[in-house]
């Protein structure tokens, strides 16, 4: 086996700023007060070949849990992922990109865009439906993730 086959893709280093334990707060667009809470843990898997995100979120009377595994696709220079959640038994495909301080995360029908603070300990952004798609209940919201560790 070649040395290169044993080395994670260098582009995965763009995800390093996501690694940590985060607290999430936010609000649906129809609310004047925070009505979303949660936590997210993001860590490397298999010596940096993959990134894992485990999360819990409470919003609009629903408590969601998810496990997401990210990889790297050199053809698109993006980070495809699969999300396993308590919302269904079929994993859902998502995609990520991190360019500088801007993070995008999307799936068919909706997209998150967020920006890291100068110190890298806060990620602020929001989920919105893509043009021509109506938002599902709770599908459009703003959120702030704050690094705890």
CA–CA separation, 71 vs 73, rounded Å?
7
Count other Cβ atoms within 10 Å, centred on residue 116.
Answer: 20
pTM: 0.90
121 phi and psi, to 5 degrees? -100, 5
The mean pLDDT of 88-107, rounded to a whole number, is: 95
DSSP per position, 115-141:
EE-TTSSEEEEEEEEPTT-PPPTT-SE
* pLDDT, tens only, 54-88: 999 999 889 999 999 999 999 999 999 999 999 88
Confidence of residue 2 (pLDDT cuts 50, 70, 90): very low
* pLDDT, tens only, 20-60: 999 999 999 989 999 999 999 999 999 999 999 999 999 98
Checking if the pLDDT of 133 tops 90, the result is: no
Please say whether the beta carbons of 68 and 41 come within 8 A.
no
Tokens of 67: 């496990």
Q: What's the pLDDT at 87?
A: 87
Please say whether the beta carbons of 115 and 103 come within 8 A.
yes
Quick one: how far is CA 35 from the chain centroid?
Answer: 19
Tokens of 130: 């893509």
Percent of the chain with pLDDT strictly greater than 90? 83
Percent of the chain with pLDDT strictly greater than 70? 95
Please say whether the beta carbons of 125 and 104 come within 8 A.
no
Interior CA angle at 27 toward 59 and 84, to 5°? 45
Choice between 1 and 112, residue whose per-residue pLDDT is larger: 112
Checking if the pLDDT of 145 tops 60, the result is: yes
């Amino acid at each position: 086996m070649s040395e290169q086959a044993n080395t994670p893709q260098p582009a995965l280093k763009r995800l390093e700023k996501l690694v940590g334990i985060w607290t999430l707060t936010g609000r649906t667009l129809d609310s004047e007060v925070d009505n979303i809470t949660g936590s997210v843990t993001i860590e490397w898997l298999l010596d940096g070949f993959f990134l894992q995100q485990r999360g819990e979120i409470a919003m609009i009377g629903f408590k969601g849990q998810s496990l997401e595994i990210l990889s790297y696709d050199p053809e698109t220079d993006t980070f495809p992922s699969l999300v396993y959640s308590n919302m269904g038994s079929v994993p859902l495909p998502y995609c990520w990109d991190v360019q500088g301080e801007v993070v995008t995360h999307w799936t068919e029908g909706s997209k998150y865009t967020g920006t890291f603070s100068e110190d890298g300990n806060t990620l602020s952004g929001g989920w919105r439906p893509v043009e021509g798609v109506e938002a599902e209940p709770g599908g459009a919201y703003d959120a702030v993730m704050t690094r705890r560790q």
